[in-house]
A and B are shown apart, each in its own frame.
Chain A
Amino acid sequence: MQKVLRVDMNAITAVCEPLPEKYSSLGNRGLVAKALVDEVNPACDPLGAENKLVFALGMLAGTGFPTGNRFSVGAKSPLTGGIKEANSGGNIGTLLARHGIQMIIVQGQPQDQGSHILHITADGTPKLIPAAGYAGLGTYALVEKLKALYGDKIAVACIGPAGERRYTNATIQITDHATGHPSRAMARGGIGAVMGSKGLKAIVVAFAPQKAGIDYADKEQFSQAMKAYLNVLSRNSITSRALSIFGTMVGMAVTGKTGALPVKNFSGQRCEILDDIGANRFHQNLNRRGGKAGLACQPGCPIKCSNIYNDKEGNYLTSGFEYETVALVGANCDIADLDVIARIERICDDFGLDTIELGATIGVCMEAGKLPWGDGEKALALVQEIVAGTEFGTIMAKGCQATGEYLGVRRIPTVKGQAMPGYDPRNSKGTGVGYATSPQGADHTVGTTSGAAGDFKKVGRVQISQKVQVAYAAVDNFMCHFAAFPLTSTHQYAVAHIAEAMAGRFGGEWNADKIWGIGLQTLMLEKQFNRATGFTAKDDRLPQFFYDEASPMTGAKFDITDEELAGVLPF
């Protein structure tokens, strides 16, 4: 039987309740949205006692379905003021599923600014432990201490000092399955600040010796469907080959030459430093320094897109070093040195900062002339200002929008207050439509079309964004996007296996429409929440400069009209 763990940071209590029936038909992002709509006052202060921090596993958690133990978190975002969901792999989903804990809802706020750690013991008992001794610790040191105390087999979700200081670009970091380091991030929307506002420094989950049971409607049907889907994954060239060999950096190969890769604060120019920061150089560095590709970030993942990136001396520098970080901190700032980008990434993982938001923030600083384009060392110094908490550092910690406005920058690449990820919306218009219309703001998880051929033209972009947003939102209820590639590239064939798996798990009639329907339902809940916070159609557009300035590389402007955007998610 699955459970909801409700943690009250005002009363300092942590109690497990049975998972309500209405919560079993959604997972991850959809479950977060449902809980927020049900329980959170949309008008609340995101960093106040009324907001709730909702962690959720996917619909197929605990079943062994590939990437089914992905871990989501959500709340009203202090960055966007709207609904926010972020998710990650790592080992925590697997360990929570062993306990049968499907959701953790953190509510209230301590009256004394005290900080706690939520410890879920091996027998599944939740305990809140005062954590004053951990205040100000970076996530790497924190995880090391927690492991010394609770053993190596634990999983941790934690905040760094950024979250404790309630910085609105703060992340929640998750321990990685391959390395054990807190190098996976639930990064966007300042979700770490919400955890900080609750006085929760970390969630520590012990390994349950006894795995919680799952009530299958038809175990055999489920197993057959899972086997069939594993077969699909092993046959798909992206999920069986490209991602394990090249990781997410393979994205540079598509976006770098089509102009979708953001360059110099989304100038639309051609990236001149692709040789220095592209996938080939990345893997050269990896191999020459004894790093590794092809690692699984969560247990049992057959796709294995993660990596270990070492420094020049061959010592561990960071892991889970991904496309989005290199796109934003590298190409978008014209920083032609993967090692500098990796050092910034490590600081971000340790201090608990979103590398996408940060890269875009440094980009507007460069645009304002605060530092020269491409100056990696000065960029590092700016990051150190955030760590040190200088006056300008605390402005940067509020994200790209706040920093751009402070510096008087006209070109600020944000939607709903959240910085754009690694796709220029003129040269990847399908992605641009997603940025504009998603309830999540500009986000790489809402539905990217990745700048493939023709993506800089208007034709079909509204329809494809609609399709991809619904598909991503659906997938966000039960698996990692990367395990979902076959769903979009093999049409109904692979989706049928998902439907079969759902039928085996939950019973009833399932088909492709019902799977995509989960996505629609999720988006409807999110839009419902956002409307109640005051968002209107006026918020569903891009910054004006994307409409006015043509990309020098392709000549494309963002030419999707407001009327067309209003028709993308018309509910």
Chain B
Amino acid sequence: MNFVFPLTKIMFGDGMSTQIGTVMLGLGCKKVLCIYDPGIKEAGIVGPIIDTMRLAGVEVVEYGDAHVSVPLASVHEATRIAREAGIDGIVAVGGGSAMDTGKAVNVCLTQPGELENYVGTLDAGAIYAPLLKPYVCIPTTAGTGSEVSPIAVVYDEKAGVKRALPQPENVPKVAIIDPLLHVKMPPGLTAATGMDALCHAIEGVGGFLRNPMLTPWGLTVCDLIFKHLPRAIADGQDLEAREKMAMAATFGIMVGAYGGFHLPHALGHSIEAVTHVSHGITCAFAMPEVCEYYADLIPDETRAMAAMLGVESNGGRPIAEVGKAFKKALSDFYLRIGCPKTEKVIPNQGDIDKIIELALGEYTYITASKKPNRRELTEMLAAACERLS
């Protein structure tokens, strides 16, 4: 078992984002690029963070137009601003879009050659870590985990495809996780991002790189989400629920990124590409079917996760039965927190073949530790559509 586990310094807790000025100074930064999206600015989250940096004596250059899916045009624009300003550090405030933009900008700004050299899954070029600018993330959602993950996904709008930047060297230097920044998240976004975090944990526990240190993390993350996601949705001001979800997101991505994503992400990316529904929902959509399919591969973990949702799953009950009951329990959880039904996720059943075709080409399918063939995968997705109709 060989693995690489790059680590980000994690600063966690209510109000922690007020430390940003000191953090940037501590990293030796005098002029930073702050990346965010218009919604975060409107919500009043980014203003105080920038003020804090300026008060600490750090000059801030703003790029406030981070886009969902991280189109390359946006990355290049932010890079241009950063280059012209001569920045020496990067801060991203927001969800996956802002944080992934920051990772891509850091590569464009510091690495020799074109971004093209570094994108890809298997074929991505190596990054020279010492060249990177200190990069700090402040997540405003509890889901993506990009603040501690090595992976960024950008959208090549000319080719019409998403490309990954997968290098472990590209993990942010510091992640400041301040659950108080999450209280304004609306229920729908809370649910979608929370389900993303759940997928990360469940997939990592069964991924092709799973290991015994990640598994307990993954199971704990699942438990946190099962308990606290419904609460955070019901009452956005439930600070304990927000805190536990923030923790689950940050630790969940490490389980997924280093344990290996598989079928839920393969299907999720593909549904997303066809119907443009949000990432967390599309990944969670057929996850119950995948969990049933994976039950015999990871029986102990499946029993543990099923038990968290109240499924009778002791060692005596056949694993196939536990898998089936877990599928039902996960599906109930998905509906209980208000996630959308089939008509909102895959409105046209005629798209299933197209989605499967895309999924079979996903890196997360190629590396799945248990791999259904085309027919089986189609049946799994069709069953999910039927279940949620």
Contact = CB atoms under 8 A, between A and B. Distances in A.
Given A237-B1, A241-B208, A257-B117, A280 B360 contact: no
B357 interface: yes
Given A280-B363, A284-B361, A287-B361, A253 B1 contact: no
Given A245-B366, A290-B373, A275 B360 contact: no
Interface residues of A, number: 24
A235 interface: yes
Interface in B1-41: 1-3
Nearest to B121: A280
Contacts of B360: 284, 287-288
A330 interface: no
Contact of B122 (A235, A258, A279, A290): A279
Contacts of B117: 257, 270
B2 A237 contact: yes
B126 interface: yes
Interface string A279-291: 1100110011010
A280 B124 CA distance: 10
A555 B124 CA distance: 21
Given A284-B361, A288-B357, A290-B373, A274 B123 contact: yes
Interface in B111-169: 113, 117-118, 120-126
A270 B117 CA distance: 9
Contacts of A278: 120, 122-123
B374 A290 contact: yes
A236 interface: yes
B367 interface: yes
B365 interface: yes
User: Chain B: interface residue count, which band?
Assistant: 20 to 34
B122 A253 contact: yes
A278 B363 CA distance: 12
A280 B2 contact: no
B123 A245 contact: no
A453 B126 contact: yes
Contacts of A279: 122-123
B120 A274 contact: yes
Contacts of B121: 280
Interface in A56-80: none
A288 B361 contact: yes
B269 to A, nearest CB: 13
Residue among A250, A256, A280, A290 facing the most chain B CB atoms (10 A cut-off): A280
A257 B123 contact: yes
Contacts of B123: 252-253, 256-257, 274-275, 278-280
A246 interface: yes
Contacts of A237: 1-3
A253 B363 CA distance: 13
A288 B355 CA distance: 12
B163 to A, nearest CB: 9
A138 B373 CA distance: 33
A252 B120 CA distance: 12
Nearest to A246: B122
A411 B124 CA distance: 30
A164 B82 CA distance: 65
Contacts of A236: 2
Interface string B364-375: 011100000110
Interface of B: 1-3, 113, 117-118, 120-126, 208, 357, 360-361, 363, 365-367, 373-374
19 contacts: A235-B1, A245-B208, A245-B366, A252-B123, A257-B124, A257-B126, A258-B126, A270-B117, A274-B123, A275-B120, A275-B123, A278-B120, A278-B122, A279-B122, A280-B123, A280-B366, A283-B366, A284-B366, A290-B373
Given A257-B124, A287-B366, 8 more contacts: A241-B208, A250-B122, A253-B124, A257-B126, A258-B125, A258-B126, A275-B123, A278-B122
Kindly list the 5 A-B residue pairs having the minimum CB-CB distance in the complex, ordered from nearest.
A257-B125, A284-B361, A237-B2, A253-B122, A278-B123
Interface of A: 235-237, 241, 245-246, 250, 252-253, 256-258, 270, 274-275, 278-280, 283-284, 287-288, 290, 453
